[in-house]
Protein backbone atom coordinates (compact mmCIF):
# COMPACT_ATOMS: atom_id res chain seq x y z
CA UNK A 1 0.00 0.00 0.00
CA UNK A 2 2.87 2.43 0.69
CA UNK A 3 4.15 1.82 -2.83
CA UNK A 4 0.70 2.44 -4.28
CA UNK A 5 0.39 5.69 -2.35
CA UNK A 6 3.82 6.82 -3.60
CA UNK A 7 2.91 6.15 -7.22
CA UNK A 8 -0.47 7.84 -6.80
CA UNK A 9 1.22 10.94 -5.42
CA UNK A 10 3.35 11.18 -8.56
CA UNK A 11 0.40 10.46 -10.85
CA UNK A 12 -1.74 13.01 -9.03
CA UNK A 13 0.53 15.77 -10.27
CA UNK A 14 -0.35 15.02 -13.85
CA UNK A 15 -3.64 13.15 -14.17
CA UNK A 16 -6.84 14.93 -15.19
CA UNK A 17 -10.38 13.64 -15.24
CA UNK A 18 -11.47 12.27 -18.57
CA UNK A 19 -14.28 10.18 -19.89
CA UNK A 20 -16.71 9.44 -17.12
CA UNK A 21 -20.29 8.66 -17.84
CA UNK A 22 -19.96 11.44 -20.38
CA UNK A 23 -17.15 9.46 -22.03
CA UNK A 24 -16.16 12.66 -23.76
CA UNK A 25 -12.50 11.87 -24.36
CA UNK A 26 -9.70 10.55 -22.18
CA UNK A 27 -6.38 12.31 -22.31
CA UNK A 28 -3.74 12.39 -19.62
CA UNK A 29 -0.06 13.26 -19.45
CA UNK A 30 2.18 11.79 -16.80
CA UNK A 31 5.75 10.84 -16.07
CA UNK A 32 6.27 7.17 -17.06
CA UNK A 33 9.83 6.09 -16.52
CA UNK A 34 10.41 2.50 -17.59
CA UNK A 35 14.14 1.71 -17.50
CA UNK A 36 13.47 -1.48 -19.43
CA UNK A 37 12.66 0.50 -22.57
CA UNK A 38 15.62 1.28 -24.78
CA UNK A 39 15.89 2.83 -28.22
CA UNK A 40 15.57 0.27 -30.98
CA UNK A 41 16.15 1.58 -34.48
CA UNK A 42 15.75 4.58 -36.67
CA UNK A 43 13.54 4.69 -39.73
CA UNK A 44 15.08 3.09 -42.81
CA UNK A 45 14.41 6.11 -45.00
CA UNK A 46 14.50 9.24 -42.85
CA UNK A 47 13.11 12.40 -44.40
CA UNK A 48 14.03 15.64 -42.77
CA UNK A 49 16.70 16.68 -40.32
CA UNK A 50 18.40 20.04 -40.10
CA UNK A 51 18.26 22.86 -37.63
CA UNK A 52 15.28 24.91 -36.48
CA UNK A 53 15.67 28.62 -35.97
CA UNK A 54 15.90 29.61 -32.29
CA UNK A 55 12.99 31.28 -30.60
CA UNK A 56 13.53 34.37 -28.54
CA UNK A 57 12.70 37.98 -27.89
CA UNK A 58 12.33 40.53 -30.68
CA UNK A 59 11.00 44.04 -31.04
CA UNK A 60 7.77 42.83 -32.61
CA UNK A 61 6.96 40.37 -29.84
CA UNK A 62 4.13 42.52 -28.53
CA UNK A 63 2.59 43.40 -31.90
CA UNK A 64 -1.04 42.21 -31.74
CA UNK A 65 -2.85 40.53 -34.64
CA UNK A 66 -5.59 43.14 -34.14
CA UNK A 67 -4.83 46.70 -32.91
CA UNK A 68 -7.83 46.44 -30.57
CA UNK A 69 -5.92 43.77 -28.64
CA UNK A 70 -2.94 46.05 -27.95
CA UNK A 71 -3.76 46.53 -24.22
CA UNK A 72 -3.50 42.77 -23.72
CA UNK A 73 -0.34 42.32 -25.79
CA UNK A 74 1.36 45.20 -23.98
CA UNK A 75 1.04 43.53 -20.56
CA UNK A 76 4.07 43.11 -18.33
CA UNK A 77 3.82 40.14 -15.99
CA UNK A 78 4.38 40.70 -12.29
CA UNK A 79 5.90 37.48 -10.91
CA UNK A 80 5.71 36.74 -7.19
CA UNK A 81 7.02 33.97 -4.96
CA UNK A 82 4.62 31.04 -4.99
CA UNK A 83 5.44 27.88 -3.00
CA UNK A 84 9.04 27.58 -4.24
CA UNK A 85 8.10 28.77 -7.72
CA UNK A 86 6.84 32.02 -9.26
CA UNK A 87 3.21 32.90 -10.01
CA UNK A 88 1.50 35.62 -11.99
CA UNK A 89 -1.79 36.38 -13.70
CA UNK A 90 -2.51 37.27 -17.31
CA UNK A 91 -5.52 39.31 -18.40
CA UNK A 92 -7.32 38.25 -21.61
CA UNK A 93 -10.67 39.18 -23.15
CA UNK A 94 -13.56 36.88 -22.40
CA UNK A 95 -14.64 37.29 -26.03
CA UNK A 96 -11.97 38.05 -28.65
CA UNK A 97 -14.69 39.55 -30.85
CA UNK A 98 -15.29 42.14 -28.11
CA UNK A 99 -11.84 43.04 -26.70
CA UNK A 100 -13.26 46.13 -24.97
CA UNK A 101 -15.73 44.00 -23.05
CA UNK A 102 -15.41 41.67 -20.07
CA UNK A 103 -12.00 40.22 -19.19
CA UNK A 104 -10.82 37.16 -17.30
CA UNK A 105 -7.62 36.34 -15.44
CA UNK A 106 -5.44 33.33 -16.26
CA UNK A 107 -3.26 31.69 -13.61
CA UNK A 108 0.44 31.27 -14.49
CA UNK A 109 3.30 29.44 -12.79
CA UNK A 110 6.97 29.63 -13.75
CA UNK A 111 9.90 27.42 -12.81
CA UNK A 112 12.92 29.58 -13.69
CA UNK A 113 15.82 28.11 -15.64
CA UNK A 114 18.60 26.87 -13.42
CA UNK A 115 21.37 28.29 -15.62
CA UNK A 116 22.19 29.20 -19.22
CA UNK A 117 18.63 30.43 -19.88
CA UNK A 118 17.57 30.40 -23.53
CA UNK A 119 13.93 31.40 -23.11
CA UNK A 120 10.49 30.29 -21.95
CA UNK A 121 8.95 26.88 -22.63
CA UNK A 122 5.17 27.05 -22.33
CA UNK A 123 3.68 23.67 -21.38
CA UNK A 124 0.25 22.05 -21.30
CA UNK A 125 -0.55 18.58 -19.87
CA UNK A 126 -3.80 17.82 -21.68
CA UNK A 127 -7.27 17.03 -20.53
CA UNK A 128 -8.88 19.24 -21.60
CA UNK A 129 -9.22 20.48 -18.07
CA UNK A 130 -5.83 19.81 -16.50
CA UNK A 131 -4.30 22.79 -14.68
CA UNK A 132 -1.10 23.67 -16.51
CA UNK A 133 0.26 25.37 -13.41
CA UNK A 134 0.44 22.00 -11.66
CA UNK A 135 2.20 20.53 -14.68
CA UNK A 136 4.84 23.25 -14.58
CA UNK A 137 5.22 22.86 -10.82
CA UNK A 138 6.02 19.18 -11.46
CA UNK A 139 8.66 20.09 -14.06
CA UNK A 140 11.36 18.17 -12.19
CA UNK A 141 9.37 14.95 -12.71
CA UNK A 142 8.21 15.77 -16.25
CA UNK A 143 11.28 17.16 -17.99
CA UNK A 144 14.95 16.20 -18.21
CA UNK A 145 17.73 18.08 -16.48
CA UNK A 146 18.89 19.71 -19.72
CA UNK A 147 15.49 21.33 -20.20
CA UNK A 148 15.33 22.49 -16.59
CA UNK A 149 18.75 24.09 -16.83
CA UNK A 150 17.99 26.15 -19.92
CA UNK A 151 14.28 26.94 -20.01
CA UNK A 152 11.89 28.81 -17.81
CA UNK A 153 9.09 26.23 -17.70
CA UNK A 154 5.83 28.19 -17.81
CA UNK A 155 2.46 26.58 -17.17
CA UNK A 156 -0.93 28.23 -17.45
CA UNK A 157 -4.39 27.05 -16.52
CA UNK A 158 -6.34 27.35 -19.78
CA UNK A 159 -9.48 29.46 -19.56
CA UNK A 160 -12.25 27.63 -17.74
CA UNK A 161 -9.85 25.40 -15.79
CA UNK A 162 -7.94 25.44 -12.51
CA UNK A 163 -7.40 29.00 -11.34
CA UNK A 164 -8.37 30.61 -14.66
CA UNK A 165 -12.06 31.52 -14.39
CA UNK A 166 -12.97 27.87 -13.76
CA UNK A 167 -16.20 26.73 -15.37
CA UNK A 168 -18.71 25.21 -12.95
CA UNK A 169 -21.50 22.85 -14.00
CA UNK A 170 -22.47 20.68 -11.00
CA UNK A 171 -22.22 20.70 -7.23
CA UNK A 172 -19.66 18.32 -5.74
CA UNK A 173 -22.44 16.02 -4.57
CA UNK A 174 -23.93 15.96 -8.07
CA UNK A 175 -20.51 15.30 -9.58
CA UNK A 176 -20.06 12.32 -7.27
CA UNK A 177 -23.37 10.91 -8.48
CA UNK A 178 -22.55 11.62 -12.12
CA UNK A 179 -19.20 9.83 -11.99
CA UNK A 180 -20.67 6.87 -10.10
CA UNK A 181 -23.52 6.35 -12.56
CA UNK A 182 -23.55 3.32 -14.85
CA UNK A 183 -21.82 4.33 -18.13
CA UNK A 184 -23.73 1.55 -19.94
CA UNK A 185 -27.45 1.74 -19.09
CA UNK A 186 -28.96 -1.69 -18.51
CA UNK A 187 -32.63 -0.69 -18.65
CA UNK A 188 -34.96 2.20 -19.45
CA UNK A 189 -34.52 3.76 -16.02
CA UNK A 190 -30.72 3.89 -16.32
CA UNK A 191 -31.01 5.19 -19.88
CA UNK A 192 -33.30 7.97 -18.67
CA UNK A 193 -30.78 8.79 -15.94
CA UNK A 194 -28.00 9.06 -18.53
CA UNK A 195 -30.08 11.46 -20.61
CA UNK A 196 -30.92 13.43 -17.49
CA UNK A 197 -27.25 13.82 -16.57
CA UNK A 198 -26.45 15.09 -20.05
CA UNK A 199 -29.15 17.72 -19.75
CA UNK A 200 -28.17 18.66 -16.20
CA UNK A 201 -24.56 19.15 -17.26
CA UNK A 202 -25.46 21.35 -20.20
CA UNK A 203 -27.92 23.42 -18.22
CA UNK A 204 -25.66 23.57 -15.18
CA UNK A 205 -22.70 24.98 -17.11
CA UNK A 206 -24.83 27.88 -18.32
CA UNK A 207 -26.66 28.46 -15.03
CA UNK A 208 -23.53 28.28 -12.85
CA UNK A 209 -20.99 29.85 -15.25
CA UNK A 210 -22.98 32.32 -17.33
CA UNK A 211 -21.29 33.81 -20.40
CA UNK A 212 -18.06 31.97 -19.62
CA UNK A 213 -19.68 28.69 -20.72
CA UNK A 214 -19.59 29.90 -24.34
CA UNK A 215 -15.98 31.06 -24.18
CA UNK A 216 -13.83 28.10 -23.08
CA UNK A 217 -13.07 26.70 -26.53
CA UNK A 218 -9.69 25.45 -27.68
CA UNK A 219 -9.49 28.24 -30.26
CA UNK A 220 -9.87 30.89 -27.56
CA UNK A 221 -7.31 29.14 -25.34
CA UNK A 222 -4.89 29.15 -28.29
CA UNK A 223 -5.44 32.89 -28.72
CA UNK A 224 -4.69 33.28 -25.01
CA UNK A 225 -1.38 31.51 -25.60
CA UNK A 226 -0.33 34.20 -28.05
CA UNK A 227 -1.11 36.90 -25.50
CA UNK A 228 0.99 34.89 -23.04
CA UNK A 229 3.84 34.69 -25.55
CA UNK A 230 3.81 38.47 -25.91
CA UNK A 231 3.64 39.03 -22.15
CA UNK A 232 6.68 36.76 -21.76
CA UNK A 233 8.51 38.93 -24.28
CA UNK A 234 9.10 36.05 -26.68
CA UNK A 235 9.08 36.70 -30.40
CA UNK A 236 8.24 33.05 -31.06
CA UNK A 237 6.54 30.52 -28.82
CA UNK A 238 8.44 27.45 -27.67
CA UNK A 239 5.88 24.88 -26.57
CA UNK A 240 5.56 21.36 -25.20
CA UNK A 241 2.03 19.99 -25.30
CA UNK A 242 0.94 16.50 -24.27
CA UNK A 243 -2.28 14.66 -25.11
CA UNK A 244 -5.06 17.25 -25.59
CA UNK A 245 -2.20 19.76 -25.30
CA UNK A 246 -1.28 18.65 -28.83
CA UNK A 247 -4.68 19.83 -30.08
CA UNK A 248 -4.16 23.13 -28.31
CA UNK A 249 -0.67 23.41 -29.78
CA UNK A 250 -1.67 22.50 -33.32
CA UNK A 251 -4.54 24.99 -33.15
CA UNK A 252 -2.10 27.70 -32.09
CA UNK A 253 0.24 26.73 -34.93
CA UNK A 254 -2.57 27.06 -37.44
CA UNK A 255 -3.70 30.44 -36.10
CA UNK A 256 -0.19 31.88 -35.62
CA UNK A 257 2.21 29.93 -37.88
CA UNK A 258 4.64 32.86 -38.01
CA UNK A 259 4.95 32.77 -34.20
CA UNK A 260 5.74 29.06 -33.90
CA UNK A 261 9.12 28.43 -32.31
CA UNK A 262 10.21 24.97 -31.24
CA UNK A 263 7.03 22.91 -30.89
CA UNK A 264 6.76 19.38 -29.49
CA UNK A 265 3.36 17.64 -29.56
CA UNK A 266 3.49 14.38 -27.57
CA UNK A 267 0.70 11.78 -27.47
CA UNK A 268 -1.01 13.44 -30.39
CA UNK A 269 -4.70 14.00 -30.93
CA UNK A 270 -5.78 14.06 -34.56
CA UNK A 271 -8.00 17.17 -34.90
CA UNK A 272 -9.07 16.03 -38.36
CA UNK A 273 -10.99 13.04 -37.02
CA UNK A 274 -14.69 13.04 -36.24
CA UNK A 275 -15.89 12.54 -32.68
CA UNK A 276 -17.08 9.06 -33.65
CA UNK A 277 -13.67 8.16 -35.06
CA UNK A 278 -11.97 9.48 -31.92
CA UNK A 279 -14.25 7.40 -29.70
CA UNK A 280 -13.61 4.26 -31.74
CA UNK A 281 -9.87 4.92 -31.64
CA UNK A 282 -9.82 5.30 -27.89
CA UNK A 283 -11.94 2.19 -27.38
CA UNK A 284 -9.41 0.24 -29.41
CA UNK A 285 -6.48 1.92 -27.63
CA UNK A 286 -7.67 0.99 -24.15
CA UNK A 287 -8.44 -2.55 -25.28
CA UNK A 288 -4.90 -2.82 -26.62
CA UNK A 289 -3.48 -1.51 -23.34
CA UNK A 290 -5.57 -3.89 -21.23
CA UNK A 291 -4.49 -6.86 -23.34
CA UNK A 292 -0.86 -5.79 -22.90
CA UNK A 293 -1.41 -5.66 -19.14
CA UNK A 294 -2.90 -9.19 -19.09
CA UNK A 295 -0.11 -10.50 -21.31
CA UNK A 296 2.41 -9.06 -18.87
CA UNK A 297 0.63 -10.83 -16.02
CA UNK A 298 0.80 -14.11 -17.95
CA UNK A 299 4.57 -13.75 -18.27
CA UNK A 300 4.60 -15.04 -14.68
CA UNK A 301 3.61 -18.63 -14.06
CA UNK A 302 1.12 -17.72 -11.32
CA UNK A 303 -0.93 -14.96 -13.00
CA UNK A 304 -4.06 -14.43 -10.91
CA UNK A 305 -6.17 -13.71 -13.99
CA UNK A 306 -5.97 -17.15 -15.60
CA UNK A 307 -3.95 -19.07 -18.15
CA UNK A 308 -4.72 -17.09 -21.33
CA UNK A 309 -5.35 -13.51 -22.36
CA UNK A 310 -8.99 -14.28 -23.08
CA UNK A 311 -9.44 -15.86 -19.64
CA UNK A 312 -7.92 -12.79 -18.05
CA UNK A 313 -10.16 -10.39 -19.97
CA UNK A 314 -13.21 -12.53 -19.19
CA UNK A 315 -12.39 -12.45 -15.50
CA UNK A 316 -12.07 -8.66 -15.53
CA UNK A 317 -15.32 -8.14 -17.45
CA UNK A 318 -17.02 -10.61 -15.10
CA UNK A 319 -15.83 -8.56 -12.13
CA UNK A 320 -17.28 -5.40 -13.65
CA UNK A 321 -20.62 -7.15 -14.13
CA UNK A 322 -20.59 -8.27 -10.50
CA UNK A 323 -19.86 -4.71 -9.32
CA UNK A 324 -22.69 -3.45 -11.52
CA UNK A 325 -25.06 -5.79 -9.70
CA UNK A 326 -23.54 -5.33 -6.23
CA UNK A 327 -21.22 -2.34 -5.54
CA UNK A 328 -18.10 -2.97 -3.49
CA UNK A 329 -17.50 -1.56 0.01
CA UNK A 330 -14.35 0.44 0.75
CA UNK A 331 -12.54 1.66 3.83
CA UNK A 332 -14.51 4.92 3.51
CA UNK A 333 -18.22 5.68 3.61
CA UNK A 334 -18.29 5.56 -0.20
CA UNK A 335 -18.81 2.43 -2.28
CA UNK A 336 -17.43 1.46 -5.68
CA UNK A 337 -20.13 1.36 -8.34
CA UNK A 338 -19.56 0.13 -11.87
CA UNK A 339 -19.01 3.75 -12.96
CA UNK A 340 -16.35 4.25 -10.30
CA UNK A 341 -14.81 0.87 -11.11
CA UNK A 342 -14.47 1.85 -14.77
CA UNK A 343 -12.31 4.83 -13.79
CA UNK A 344 -10.29 2.68 -11.41
CA UNK A 345 -9.66 0.18 -14.20
CA UNK A 346 -8.56 2.60 -16.92
CA UNK A 347 -6.43 4.98 -14.84
CA UNK A 348 -3.41 2.67 -14.34
CA UNK A 349 -3.50 1.71 -18.03
CA UNK A 350 -1.99 5.11 -18.78
CA UNK A 351 1.39 3.94 -17.54
CA UNK A 352 3.16 0.60 -17.50
CA UNK A 353 4.80 1.74 -14.29
CA UNK A 354 1.41 1.78 -12.55
CA UNK A 355 0.22 -1.67 -13.69
CA UNK A 356 1.11 -3.07 -10.29
CA UNK A 357 -1.50 -0.74 -8.76
CA UNK A 358 -4.11 -2.24 -11.10
CA UNK A 359 -3.04 -5.70 -9.97
CA UNK A 360 -3.52 -4.70 -6.34
CA UNK A 361 -6.89 -3.12 -7.09
CA UNK A 362 -8.16 -6.17 -8.99
CA UNK A 363 -6.98 -8.65 -6.36
CA UNK A 364 -8.69 -6.59 -3.67
CA UNK A 365 -11.87 -6.38 -5.72
CA UNK A 366 -11.94 -10.13 -6.31
CA UNK A 367 -11.68 -10.39 -2.54
CA UNK A 368 -14.63 -8.07 -1.98
CA UNK A 369 -12.97 -4.69 -1.34
CA UNK A 370 -13.01 -1.64 -3.63
CA UNK A 371 -10.57 0.53 -1.66
CA UNK A 372 -7.77 0.73 -4.23
CA UNK A 373 -10.20 0.97 -7.16
CA UNK A 374 -11.73 3.97 -5.42
CA UNK A 375 -8.30 5.55 -4.86
CA UNK A 376 -7.50 5.18 -8.56
CA UNK A 377 -10.91 6.53 -9.60
CA UNK A 378 -10.51 9.53 -7.29
CA UNK A 379 -7.10 10.23 -8.75
CA UNK A 380 -8.68 10.17 -12.17
CA UNK A 381 -11.38 12.66 -11.18
CA UNK A 382 -9.10 14.91 -9.07
CA UNK A 383 -11.09 14.09 -5.95
CA UNK A 384 -9.54 14.44 -2.52
CA UNK A 385 -10.84 13.36 0.87
CA UNK A 386 -12.79 16.60 1.28
CA UNK A 387 -13.99 17.08 -2.30
CA UNK A 388 -12.60 17.90 -5.71
CA UNK A 389 -9.22 19.58 -5.95
CA UNK A 390 -9.95 21.11 -9.36
CA UNK A 391 -12.77 21.38 -11.87
CA UNK A 392 -11.26 19.09 -14.52
CA UNK A 393 -14.18 16.64 -14.51
CA UNK A 394 -16.52 19.48 -15.50
CA UNK A 395 -14.13 21.43 -17.72
CA UNK A 396 -13.54 18.45 -20.00
CA UNK A 397 -17.24 18.30 -20.76
CA UNK A 398 -17.60 22.06 -21.25
CA UNK A 399 -14.57 22.36 -23.55
CA UNK A 400 -15.10 19.24 -25.62
CA UNK A 401 -18.79 19.88 -26.21
CA UNK A 402 -18.03 23.47 -27.18
CA UNK A 403 -15.32 22.36 -29.62
CA UNK A 404 -17.59 19.70 -31.14
CA UNK A 405 -21.22 19.37 -29.99
CA UNK A 406 -21.67 16.11 -31.92
CA UNK A 407 -23.92 13.65 -30.09
CA UNK A 408 -25.71 10.38 -30.80
CA UNK A 409 -29.29 10.01 -29.63
CA UNK A 410 -29.79 7.18 -27.10
CA UNK A 411 -32.07 5.31 -29.47
CA UNK A 412 -29.25 5.27 -32.05
CA UNK A 413 -26.61 3.69 -29.81
CA UNK A 414 -27.68 0.12 -30.57
CA UNK A 415 -26.75 0.72 -34.20
CA UNK A 416 -23.21 1.63 -33.11
CA UNK A 417 -22.52 -1.28 -30.77
CA UNK A 418 -21.27 -3.78 -33.34
CA UNK A 419 -18.51 -1.46 -34.52
CA UNK A 420 -17.51 -0.46 -31.01
CA UNK A 421 -17.50 -4.03 -29.70
CA UNK A 422 -15.33 -5.07 -32.64
CA UNK A 423 -12.86 -2.34 -31.69
CA UNK A 424 -13.04 -3.17 -27.97
CA UNK A 425 -14.92 -6.13 -26.52
CA UNK A 426 -14.17 -4.80 -23.03
CA UNK A 427 -14.79 -1.06 -23.38
CA UNK A 428 -16.80 -0.77 -26.58
CA UNK A 429 -20.19 -0.31 -24.94
CA UNK A 430 -18.86 2.46 -22.68
CA UNK A 431 -17.42 4.45 -25.57
CA UNK A 432 -20.50 3.90 -27.74
CA UNK A 433 -22.78 5.28 -25.01
CA UNK A 434 -20.25 8.04 -24.39
CA UNK A 435 -21.20 9.55 -27.75
CA UNK A 436 -24.47 10.71 -26.17
CA UNK A 437 -22.60 13.01 -23.77
CA UNK A 438 -22.97 16.33 -25.57
CA UNK A 439 -26.69 15.93 -26.33
CA UNK A 440 -27.52 18.34 -23.51
CA UNK A 441 -25.09 21.09 -24.56
CA UNK A 442 -26.79 24.49 -24.38
CA UNK A 443 -24.24 26.80 -26.04
CA UNK A 444 -22.20 27.05 -29.22
CA UNK A 445 -18.62 28.21 -29.61
CA UNK A 446 -18.02 31.85 -30.46
CA UNK A 447 -15.45 30.80 -33.07
CA UNK A 448 -15.35 27.49 -34.96
CA UNK A 449 -12.17 25.40 -34.91
CA UNK A 450 -9.88 25.77 -37.92
CA UNK A 451 -8.81 23.08 -40.35
CA UNK A 452 -5.35 22.24 -39.07
CA UNK A 453 -2.35 22.43 -41.38
CA UNK A 454 -0.29 25.38 -40.02
CA UNK A 455 0.96 26.60 -43.41
CA UNK A 456 4.40 28.18 -43.29
CA UNK A 457 5.22 27.09 -39.73
CA UNK A 458 8.74 25.81 -39.00
CA UNK A 459 9.21 22.09 -38.17
CA UNK A 460 6.82 20.76 -35.53
CA UNK A 461 7.79 17.51 -33.78
CA UNK A 462 4.93 15.04 -33.23
CA UNK A 463 5.47 12.00 -30.97
CA UNK A 464 3.39 8.82 -31.05
CA UNK A 465 3.63 5.72 -28.85
CA UNK A 466 2.66 2.40 -30.41
CA UNK A 467 0.51 1.14 -27.51
CA UNK A 468 -0.76 4.45 -26.19
CA UNK A 469 -4.25 3.81 -24.78
CA UNK A 470 -5.63 7.35 -24.75
CA UNK A 471 -4.19 8.82 -27.94
CA UNK A 472 -3.51 5.88 -30.27
CA UNK A 473 -0.34 5.90 -32.33
CA UNK A 474 -2.28 6.29 -35.56
CA UNK A 475 -3.40 9.74 -34.44
CA UNK A 476 0.19 10.97 -34.22
CA UNK A 477 0.87 9.67 -37.73
CA UNK A 478 -2.20 11.53 -38.99
CA UNK A 479 -1.35 14.81 -37.23
CA UNK A 480 2.22 14.76 -38.54
CA UNK A 481 0.81 14.36 -42.04
CA UNK A 482 -1.82 17.09 -41.60
CA UNK A 483 0.70 19.65 -40.37
CA UNK A 484 2.55 21.12 -43.33
CA UNK A 485 5.82 20.93 -41.39
CA UNK A 486 5.07 17.92 -39.16
CA UNK A 487 7.98 15.63 -38.18
CA UNK A 488 7.01 12.22 -36.75
CA UNK A 489 8.94 10.51 -33.95
CA UNK A 490 7.68 7.02 -32.99
CA UNK A 491 8.19 5.30 -29.65
CA UNK A 492 7.66 1.53 -29.45
CA UNK A 493 6.22 1.09 -25.98
CA UNK A 494 3.31 1.09 -23.55
CA UNK A 495 1.62 3.97 -21.79
CA UNK A 496 0.51 7.46 -22.67
CA UNK A 497 3.01 9.84 -24.36
CA UNK A 498 6.64 9.23 -25.27
CA UNK A 499 8.98 11.85 -23.83
CA UNK A 500 10.65 11.14 -20.48
CA UNK A 501 9.22 7.64 -20.51
CA UNK A 502 12.45 5.68 -20.26
CA UNK A 503 13.34 5.81 -23.95
CA UNK A 504 16.65 7.63 -24.45
CA UNK A 505 16.18 7.82 -28.21
CA UNK A 506 12.99 9.88 -27.81
CA UNK A 507 14.47 12.01 -25.03
CA UNK A 508 17.57 12.86 -27.07
CA UNK A 509 15.46 13.79 -30.09
CA UNK A 510 13.18 16.08 -28.07
CA UNK A 511 15.91 17.76 -26.06
CA UNK A 512 18.21 18.29 -29.05
CA UNK A 513 15.32 19.91 -30.87
CA UNK A 514 14.22 22.16 -28.01
CA UNK A 515 17.71 23.16 -26.91
CA UNK A 516 19.76 23.17 -30.10
CA UNK A 517 17.13 23.39 -32.81
CA UNK A 518 18.21 20.06 -34.32
CA UNK A 519 15.17 18.72 -36.16
CA UNK A 520 14.80 14.91 -35.88
CA UNK A 521 14.60 12.85 -39.04
CA UNK A 522 10.97 12.58 -40.07
CA UNK A 523 10.01 8.98 -39.30
CA UNK A 524 12.56 8.47 -36.52
CA UNK A 525 11.66 5.18 -34.78
CA UNK A 526 12.70 4.61 -31.18
The residues that are catalytic are 243, 468, 496
Listed residue (4, 2, 26, 6) closest to 381, CA to CA: 26
**Measured torsion, CA atoms of residues 207, 208, 209, 210, in degrees rounded to the nearest 10:** 30
Q: Cβ of 359: how many Cβ atoms within 10 Å?
A: 18
Listed residue (110, 189, 134) closest to 13, CA to CA: 134
SS3 state at 367: coil
Cα separation of 407 and 409, whole Å?
A: 7
Q: Which helix (H) or strand (E) holds 487?
A: strand 486-494
What is the chain's alpha carbon radius of gyration, rounded to the nearest angstrom? 22
Residue 150 has phi, psi (to 5 degrees) of -110, -20
Q: Cβ of 44: how many Cβ atoms within 10 Å?
A: 7
CA atoms in the 13 A half-sphere facing the CB of 331: 6
**Measured torsion, CA atoms of residues 61, 67, 70, 71, in degrees rounded to the nearest 10:** -170
Quickly list DSSP for 384-429.
Answer: ETTEESSSHHHHHHHHHHHH------GGGGGGGHHHHHHH-TTTHH
Cα angle, residue 59 at apex, residues 54 and 65 outer, rounded to 5°: 95
Residues pairing with 460 in the sheet = 263, 486
Amino acid sequence: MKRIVAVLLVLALLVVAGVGVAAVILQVQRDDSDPAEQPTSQADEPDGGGTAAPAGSDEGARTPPDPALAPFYDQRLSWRDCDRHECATLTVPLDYADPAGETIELALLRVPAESDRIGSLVVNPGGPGAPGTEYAAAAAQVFGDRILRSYDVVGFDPRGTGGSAPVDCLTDAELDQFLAADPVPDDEAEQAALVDWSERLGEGCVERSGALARHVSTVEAARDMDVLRAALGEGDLDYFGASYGTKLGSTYADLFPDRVGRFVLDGALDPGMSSRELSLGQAEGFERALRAYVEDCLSDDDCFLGATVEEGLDRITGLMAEIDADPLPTNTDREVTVGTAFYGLVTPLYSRQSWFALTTALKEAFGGSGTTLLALADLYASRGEDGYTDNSAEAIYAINCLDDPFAVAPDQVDGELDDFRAASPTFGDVFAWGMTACAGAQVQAAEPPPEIDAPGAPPIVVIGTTRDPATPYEWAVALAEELESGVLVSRDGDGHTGYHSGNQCVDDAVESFLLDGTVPDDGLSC
